[in-house]
């Protein structure tokens, strides 16, 4: 019990430090976390509206793009933020009571809260652009967020170790991940793509996160290609692999 209380205190201290360092130095502070994605969704919605008459789903370009962008960002934002948890706090990890998992937990909590607040604000506004909005399927929305965070945590835990041990891998990983935003169904619905590109896109688990998240707003009856079993097992295996690498490999425990 004492160890758990100590862990909570350390994580709380890291959380306050992360808020101060991440948002305290930028103009607008924490408000910028909302303004940046809102501006991005607005700009992309205008571009979408200029090149197409109707979105792939529904009647609102802002809602269609926002659901895809926010679902993808649930994964990418968490993965990138957690990956630098240990490297950004190496000085504090020299204290014997601080373990590498503490800054990871603190960053995970902060990123999850921020993502939820940003998503709520953007989706609350954009959903009013739909003339006949569907009832929200909260089960699909929550499952998509949990799957996105599980994927991101698994990737981040593995990369914390692999980036430090293999600098070349970090560069290769960055190159490979750059087109992921385009290949995750943010701008389109995978069912619209011809064979074999559709099957290639559905091999990407983040695509299933986007599909599942959108099902929560547009209904499951109009979507296809979603394989919940594939997403569940891929997330579980990736999370387990990341935990194994982070726990077993000595780099994860090195504090100097």
Task: Dump pLDDT digits (tens) for 135-166.
Answer: 888 999 999 999 999 999 999 999 999 998 88
DSSP 8-state assignment for residue 134: P
Q: Is the pLDDT of residue 222 over 60?
A: no
Cβ atoms of 173 and 54 within 8 Å: the answer is no
- Average the pLDDT over each of 29-38, 66-75, 77-86 and give the range with the smallest value: 29-38
| pLDDT tens-digit readout, 56-65 | 787 788 888 8
Cα 113 from Cα 81, distance rounded (Å)? 13
pLDDT at 32: 78
**Which residues does 56 contact at the CB level (< 8 Å), separation at least 6?**
64, 188, 189, 192
Q: Is the pLDDT of residue 170 over 60?
A: yes
pLDDT at 52: 62
pLDDT at 226: 84
More confident residue, 210 or 29: 210
pLDDT at 256: 45
Among residues 198, 195, 207, the alpha carbon closest in space to that of 234 is found at 207
Q: Is the pLDDT of residue 237 over 90?
A: yes
Q: Is the pLDDT of residue 211 over 80?
A: yes
The first and second tokens of residue 221, run together, are: 């009856």
For the chain, state the CA radius of gyration. Answer: 19
Tell me the average pLDDT across 94-105.
Answer: 87
pLDDT-based confidence at residue 223 (cuts at 50, 70, 90) = low
Tell me the average pLDDT across 210-226.
Answer: 81
Cα 212 from Cα 139, distance rounded (Å)? 10
- Average the pLDDT over each of 38-52, 85-99, 138-152, 172-186 and give the range with the smallest value: 38-52
pLDDT at 255: 45
More confident residue, 52 or 86: 86
Tell me the average pLDDT across 34-62.
Answer: 78
Q: Is the pLDDT of residue 173 over 70?
A: yes
Cα 39 from Cα 48, distance rounded (Å)? 14
């Amino acid at each position: 019990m004492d160890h758990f209380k100590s862990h909570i205190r350390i994580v709380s201290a890291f959380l306050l430090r992360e808020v101060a360092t991440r948002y305290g130095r930028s103009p607008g502070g924490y408000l910028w976390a909302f303004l940046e994605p809102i501006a991005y969704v607005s700009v992309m919605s205008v571009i979408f509206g200029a090149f197409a008459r109707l979105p792939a789903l529904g009647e609102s370009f802002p809602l269609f793009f926002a659901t895809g962008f926010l679902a993808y960002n649930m994964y990418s934002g968490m993965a990138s933020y957690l990956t630098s948890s240990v490297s950004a706090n190496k000085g504090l990890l020299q204290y014997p009571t601080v373990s590498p998992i503490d800054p990871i937990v603190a960053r995970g909590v902060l990123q999850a809260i921020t993502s939820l607040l940003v998503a709520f604000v953007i989706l609350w506004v954009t959903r009013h652009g739909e003339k006949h909005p569907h009832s929200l399927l909260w089960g699909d929305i929550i499952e998509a967020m949990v799957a996105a965070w599980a994927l991101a945590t698994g990737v981040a835990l593995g990369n914390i170790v692999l980036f430090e041990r293999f600098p070349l891998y970090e560069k290769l990983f960055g190159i490979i991940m750059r087109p992921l935003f385009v290949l995750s169904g943010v701008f389109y619905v995978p069912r619209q793509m011809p064979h074999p590109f559709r099957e290639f896109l559905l091999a990407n688990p983040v695509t299933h996160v986007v599909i599942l998240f959108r099902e929560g707003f547009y209904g499951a009856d109009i979507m296809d290609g979603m394989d919940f079993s594939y997403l569940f097992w891929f997330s579980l295996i990736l999370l387990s692999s990341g935990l194994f690498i982070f726990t077993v490999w000595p780099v994860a425990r090195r504090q100097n």
